[in-house]
Structure 1
Amino acid sequence: MNKIKMICLDIDGTLLNSEHKISKKTKEVIEIVANQKQIPVILVSARMPKGILFLQKELNIEQPIICYSGALVMDKDANILSNCSIEVSEVRQVHNFVKEIGVHMSLYKDDEWYIEEIDEWSSQESAITNIAPNVINFTDLFNVWEQEKSGPNKLLCMAEPNKIKALDLLIKSYHSNNLNIYPSKPTYLEIMPSNVSKTSAIEILMSKFNIQRSEIIAIGDNYNDISMIEFAGVGVAMGNAPEGVKRYADYITSTNDEDGVAMAIKKYIIS
């Protein structure tokens, strides 16, 4: 097996435990690989930049970040390496479905989070991420984006599981080829441009660092992590991952509450 030269690490359900914290043991192991062994530790998430950068600071690492599951890639100096967005016409259609079913919808563009009104879902997300959203009329925002010929990097829909399932089916019946749609948990439906993935973003950084896929370890816990788990030289699924994710992994580590990231890094790099 080739020597590992890059670690690609999902955040929620992987790096963070169920209390949304990084354990002491995981911090210690990442400190060793990032600062002693000089191996880039890349945080790869569906989160916005603000939701990733404070975790980098906590880990004492300075590296590029992959946001919105690959739709936005930034280097360590916040220069944009890649930026993909969803067309406003698609966003309007999803917004219509959301209103019809009664689902919360958040829009993310660059490093901003937009909602139409504060509700239990936005309050919950704000508490998890420590980020405050911008409250704005979506119709006005759509008009601005149409004039700018731009759009959001990500849509996040939140509701009870039965509504999320209904919305997922409805959107896929209209937009199966244009959007990348997946439930990140029973109450969350995440929507990104169809031409991006965590793997497509990792490939950008492979060129930057001159690293081969066989030299990468990727660790994740959810369906949007499958592509990078399958792609990497060593693909690791967390113990708390669904069976549908675990089947793609080379190794299944402990859960996010049992220092699974630290265990995998020790196994493949430190030992």
Structure 2
Amino acid sequence: MFKAICTDIDGTLLNKDRELSKRTVDIFKHVKDDVAIILASSRMPAAMRHLQQTLDIVNQPLICYNGGFIISQRHEIKILDSVKIPFSLCEYIAKWSDNKNLHAGFYLEDNWFAPSRDQWTEREINNTKVQASILSGLELMESWKSQENGAHKIMCMGEPSLIDDLISELKSMDAPLHLYRSKDTYLEIAPLEISKASALNQLLRTELNIEMKDVIAFGDNYNDIEMLKAVGCGVAVGNAKEEVKNVADEVTLPAKEDGVAVTLEKYFG
């Protein structure tokens, strides 16, 4: 039997209303005392903790920013790893976005800085239930400059052609970045060296004394592929990208039909 469950959130765990269904909550509460339950997402910690509260797993670890920020919460909050985009690249993207009028949000630990309270910011507030600090990218870089702070994630949102241009620009620079396009209007930028798989492996080894083969994991998108391949049982939800389904050990029902809950009921009763 599995010793840990690791699941993506958006497109995997949440229903069509972007919430946790009763069926999902019930099965997680049923198994939470017997297995470790790890949420792994591109979200910031605050956008994951309210889900942990609903599932009654607030003492369980979090893999945030696709593996760039790993938090243990067993007895006290402890940062296990923190990998950031270097300040110089943050500054470049801030200036480029300001010049082209592209919305660029910067995330550092539990802080989200958005350039204005526009439609993009409102949508993210609605999706994640977290409030942004409104500060232009240039102002933020000025405040970060002395410490050369970096970002765990940069989220660029806007016209597809602008996103295309930024991707081309960063690729031409050979910037050491993951450029993950979740929609044609969304670009998530993260450090190249991180992944959910490596973060999960580190977390299991250092905190939980569990092996990857003893984990069942769920996902739907390209950033879940490595994780699904690395664990004992990788499960793609029915709405997953074809490439994700191709590497998965199993394919379950879509997220909006409680695919994660259905599979957990099968294994844990």
TM-score, normalised relative to structure 1: 0.93
Give the letter for the 1:191 counterpart.
Answer: I
Cα shift at 1:100: 4.8
In the aligned structure 1, how far is the partner of 2:244 from the partner of 2:158? 23
Identity value in percent: 38
Alpha carbons of structure 1 residues 137 and 188: separation in structure 2 relative to 1, 3 Å: closer
Cα shift at 1:118: 1.4
Cα shift at 1:28: 1.0
Give the letter for the 1:70 counterpart.
Answer: G
Does 2:44 match 1:48?
yes
| Greater alpha carbon shift after TM alignment, 47-56 vs 185-194 | 185-194
Unpaired stretches in structure 1, ≥5 consecutive residues: none
Unpaired stretches in structure 2, ≥5 consecutive residues: none
Give the letter for the 1:25 counterpart.
Answer: R
| Corresponding residue of 1:57 | 53
| Corresponding residue of 2:188 | 190
Cα shift at 1:230: 1.1
Tell me, yes or no, if the aligned pair for 2:237 and 2:251 is still in contact at 8 Å: yes
Q: Secondary structure at the match of 1:163?
A: helix
Tell me, yes or no, if the aligned pair for 2:94 and 2:141 is still in contact at 8 Å: no
Q: Secondary structure at the match of 2:39?
A: strand
**Structure 1 residues 78-115: Cα deviation after superposition (integer angstroms, max 9, x where no partner):** 21111111111111222233345432110000100001
| Corresponding residue of 1:116 | 115
In the aligned structure 2, how far is the partner of 1:163 from the partner of 1:110? 27
In the aligned structure 2, how far is the partner of 1:226 from the partner of 1:234? 12
In the aligned structure 1, how far is the partner of 2:168 from the partner of 2:263? 36
| Corresponding residue of 1:169 | 168
In the aligned structure 2, how far is the partner of 1:204 from the partner of 1:128? 29
Q: Secondary structure at the match of 2:113?
A: strand
Tell me, yes or no, if the aligned pair for 1:106 and 1:114 is still in contact at 8 Å: yes
In the aligned structure 2, how far is the partner of 1:186 from the partner of 1:29? 34
CA RMSD across the alignment: 1.5
Q: Secondary structure at the match of 1:175?
A: coil
Tell me, yes or no, if the aligned pair for 2:98 and 2:137 is still in contact at 8 Å: no
In the aligned structure 1, how far is the partner of 2:83 from the partner of 2:210? 23
Cα shift at 1:227: 1.2
May I ask how many residue pairs the two structures share in their alignment? 265
| Corresponding residue of 2:200 | 202
Tell me, yes or no, if the aligned pair for 1:101 and 1:167 is still in contact at 8 Å: no
Alpha carbons of structure 1 residues 201 and 118: separation in structure 2 relative to 1, 3 Å: same
Cα shift at 1:165: 3.2
In the aligned structure 1, how far is the partner of 2:233 from the partner of 2:226? 12
Does 2:64 match 1:67?
yes
Tell me, yes or no, if the aligned pair for 1:97 and 1:170 is still in contact at 8 Å: no
Tell me, yes or no, if the aligned pair for 1:115 and 1:135 is still in contact at 8 Å: yes
**Structure 1 residues 50-89: Cα deviation after superposition (integer angstroms, max 9, x where no partner):** 0000100000112011111111111113211111111111
Give the letter for the 2:66 counterpart.
Answer: S
